[in-house]
Amino acid sequence: MSASAQVSTSSALMPTYARADLAFECGEGCYLFTADGRRYLDFASGIAVNGLGHSHPHLVATLKEQAGKLWHCSNLYRIPGQERLARRLADASFADKVFFSNSGAEAIECGLKLARKYQDDFGDKKRFRVICTEGAFHGRTLATIAAGGQEKHLKGFDPIVDGFDRVAYGNLNELRAAITPETGAILVEPVQGEGGMRAASDDYLKGLRTIADEFGLVLFFDEVQCGMGRTGKLFAHEWAGVKPDIVATAKALGGGFPVGACLANDKVAAAFGPGNHGSTFGGNPLAMAVGNAVLDVMLEEGFFARVERMSDLLRSRLAALARRHPKLFGELRGRGLMIGIKCEVPNTEVMNRLRDRNVLVVTAGDNVLRLLPPLVVTEAEIAEAMDALDAVAAGWT
């Protein structure tokens, strides 16, 4: 075993993760390899990060080229790669302006600050509260755990950041009833990830826009997980034909290089001026080079249509599996290649047994098994994952 692959049991890492005793040395496409040569089919994609799989040649070449030129440059100067990526994201979406961060939580933080500043400048100073939903996940900073509202994430971290109210996901009446003179924004995941892979209906997303307009609220979508092609469109809300005011995205934006983005329309973005927000590393030349390379691939003709085809194939196979094994599996959830399958047995046990068969998946809330294959997954790889699922199901006792 090479030194870099050694995982010490007396770890100096803070024990914030219950890690599997498994380390990877390299990856290619939809596969990961351990130092001793074991191969795993990756249907987790680093939790929806490796959208283009591992070691995508265009991404590798782009990062290598940029590494030889310039790694870091302060945002006190113009960063051409940033201007280009912002322009391309805006041209491909509802947005007019973009702020780059290093993570999803930071992209959400940027959006939360922007929503407050917008109300402060152009709306009503009192309107600092944000309506969020049950089962939400928005990150692990103090403000984003408050926005997510999950007891398991909040416990021990009092006082909870103020300004977040909670309603049932998918329920417009409850949301409307929760609006007060202090409400300034609505923050919703078009497809909930961690919370259980629930996809919002198009009518729900449209209803959110209508309500936001009626009450002068900022409509803010968290597309950190469901954005960047995961559902078969660049952003999941596009399926509903709705235009939000703010969108945060991250995970697959850098294909594995840490980068996030907060997108906004001109109306809301007008609230930010010099000094209102910042980040040392945000929009760093390395991240921007890779982000642009990701868009080169995703915006190619036929990329999203292919995601949809692979999604249809995988979903129909999973539905058939669930019909054959109703004691193990229930409903299918999610959208595109963001797939949840409700388990009737413990989801972690299914995940572990798949891992024993060299297939990686993740779990989600509500006892859901989460399948997030790279968007470049092939029919043969889907068949391989299904073989493993079939074997796990057949051998269940």
Contacting residues toward ligand PLP, per CB under 6 A: 103-105, 108, 137-139, 189, 193-194, 222, 224-225, 250-251
Residue number with CB closer to ligand PLP (157 or 396): 157
Q: Least distance to ligand PLP from the beta carbon of 194, Å?
A: 6
Residue number with CB closer to ligand PLP (250 or 361): 250
Residue number with CB closer to ligand PLP (56 or 198): 198
Q: Least distance to ligand PLP from the beta carbon of 225, Å?
A: 3
Cα dist from 352 to 29, 75, 366, 396, whole Å: 22, 44, 17, 12
Q: Taking each helix axis from N to C terminus, what angle separates 379-394 and 347-356, rounded to the nearest 10 degrees?
A: 110
Q: Which residue has the tokens 């497809």?
A: 191
Instruction: Determine how many CB atoms are found less than 10 A away from the CB of residue 266.
Output: 10
In degrees and rounded to multiples of 5, residue 314 shows phi and psi of -65, -40
Q: Least distance to ligand PLP from the beta carbon of 106, Å?
A: 7
| Token pair of 43 as six digits | 């249907």
Q: Least distance to ligand PLP from the beta carbon of 48, Å?
A: 7
Contact 168, 183 (CB under 8 A): no
Q: Least distance to ligand PLP from the beta carbon of 361, Å?
A: 16
Q: Least distance to ligand PLP from the beta carbon of 140, Å?
A: 6
Residue number with CB closer to ligand PLP (93 or 101): 101
- Give CA–CA dist 143/41, Å, rounded: 35
Contact 262, 85 (CB under 8 A): no
Residue number with CB closer to ligand PLP (42 or 223): 223
Residue number with CB closer to ligand PLP (261 or 269): 261
- Give CA–CA dist 8/12, Å, rounded: 9
Q: Which of 280, 249, 281, 244 is nearest to 262 (CA)?
A: 249
- Give CA–CA dist 391/356, Å, rounded: 11
Cα dist from 331 to 62, 144, 149, 294, whole Å: 41, 29, 25, 32
Closest residue to ligand PLP, Cβ-based?
104
Q: Least distance to ligand PLP from the beta carbon of 133, Å?
A: 11
Contact 368, 343 (CB under 8 A): yes
Instruction: Determine how many CB atoms are found less than 10 A away from the CB of residue 309.
Output: 13
Residue number with CB closer to ligand PLP (48 or 175): 48
Q: Least distance to ligand PLP from the beta carbon of 265, Å?
A: 20
Residue number with CB closer to ligand PLP (194 or 381): 194
Residue at 285: amino acid letter: P
